[in-house]
Amino acid sequence: MAVSPPQAFPPRKRRPISAASFISPKLSDRNLIQSLLLFTQEISSHTPFQFLLKRHSVSLIRKSKLLAILFEELLLCNPIPALSPSAILCLEEMHVLLQRVKALIEDCSNGSKMWLLMQTESVANGFHELTRELSTLLDIFPLQEIDLNDDVAELIVLIRNQLNSQTKVNGVVDPRDDELRLEVLALLDRIKREIVPDHSELAEIFARLGLRDASSCREEIENLEDEVQNQGNEKSKSEVIIALIGLVRYAKCVLFGASTPNTDIRSRETPSEAIVPADFRCPISLELMRDPVVVATGQTYDRESIKMWIESGHATCPKTGQNLVHTDLIPNLSLKNLIAMWCREQKIPFEITANSVKVNGVTTNKAALEATRMTATFLINKLSVSQSMEAGNGVVYELRVLAKTDSDSRACIAEAGAIPMLVRYLGSDVGSEHPNLQVNAVTTILNLSILEANKTRIMETDGALNGIIEVLRSGATWEAKGNAAATIFSLAGVQIHRRILGKKTRVIKGLLELAELGPRSSKRDALAAILNLAADREAVGRLLEGGVVRMTVELMDQLSEEAVTILESVVKRGGFVAIAASYIAIKKLTVVLREGSERAQESAAATLVTITRKGGAELVAELASTPGIERGIWDLMQSGTPRARRKAATLLRILRRWAAGLDGNVMDDTIISTTHMISSSTTATATALRVPA
Q: Is 23 exposed, middle or buried (0-12, 13-18, 19+ CB in 10 A)?
A: exposed
Euclidean distance between the first and final Cα of the chain, in Å? Answer: 65
Q: How far apart are CA 563 and CA 422, in angstroms?
A: 33
CB atoms within 10 A of CB 51: 16
* In contact, 451 and 415? CB cutoff 8 Å: no
pLDDT at 168: 72
Nearest residue to 623 (alpha-carbon basis) of 663, 662, 580, 566: 580
How many alpha carbons lie under 13 Å from residue 601 in its C-beta half-sphere? 23
How many alpha carbons lie under 13 Å from residue 470 in its C-beta half-sphere? 19
Pairing of strands 300-302, 330-331: unpaired
User: Which residues, given as ranges, of the chain have pLDDT below 50?
Assistant: 1-14, 16-17, 263-273, 353-363, 664-693
DSSP state, 356? G
Q: How far apart are CA 578 and CA 581, in angstroms?
A: 5
Pairing of strands 292-294, 330-331: antiparallel
Q: Please write down the long-range contacts of 307-315, taking CB distance under 8 Å and 24 or more positions apart.
A: 308/493, 308/532, 309/284, 311/495, 312/495, 312/535
Q: Strands of 292-294's sheet, edge to edge? A: 300-302, 292-294, 330-331
Q: How far apart are CA 140 and CA 150, in angstroms?
A: 19
Whether cis (ω within 30° of 0) applies to the bond prior to 79 is yes
* In contact, 57 and 49? CB cutoff 8 Å: yes
Nearest residue to 97 (alpha-carbon basis) of 65, 134, 63: 134
Q: Measure CA 130 to chain center.
A: 37
pLDDT at 271: 47
Q: How far apart are CA 140 and CA 655, in angstroms?
A: 88
Phi, psi at 292, each rounded to 5°: -65, 135
Nearest residue to 556 (alpha-carbon basis) of 547, 571, 567, 546: 567
Identity of the amino acid at 450:
I
The dihedral region occupied by 65, where left means phi > 0, alpha psi between -120 and 50, and beta the remainder, is alpha
Q: How far apart are CA 515 and CA 525, in angstroms?
A: 8
Q: How far apart are CA 104 and CA 129, in angstroms?
A: 12
Q: Measure CA 329 to chain center.
A: 20
Q: How far apart are CA 31 and CA 102, in angstroms?
A: 19
CB atoms within 10 A of CB 131: 22
String of DSSP letters for 364-420 = S-HHHHHHHHHHHHHHHHHHHT--SHHHHHHHHHHHHHHHTT-HHHHHHHHHTTHHH
Nearest residue to 577 (alpha-carbon basis) of 599, 552, 545, 554: 545
Nearest residue to 144 (alpha-carbon basis) of 86, 93, 96, 79: 86
Q: How far apart are CA 51 and CA 209, in angstroms?
A: 6
Domains of the chain, earliest start first: 29-173 (no CATH), 176-256 (no CATH), 281-346 (3.30.40.10), 387-546 (1.25.10.10)
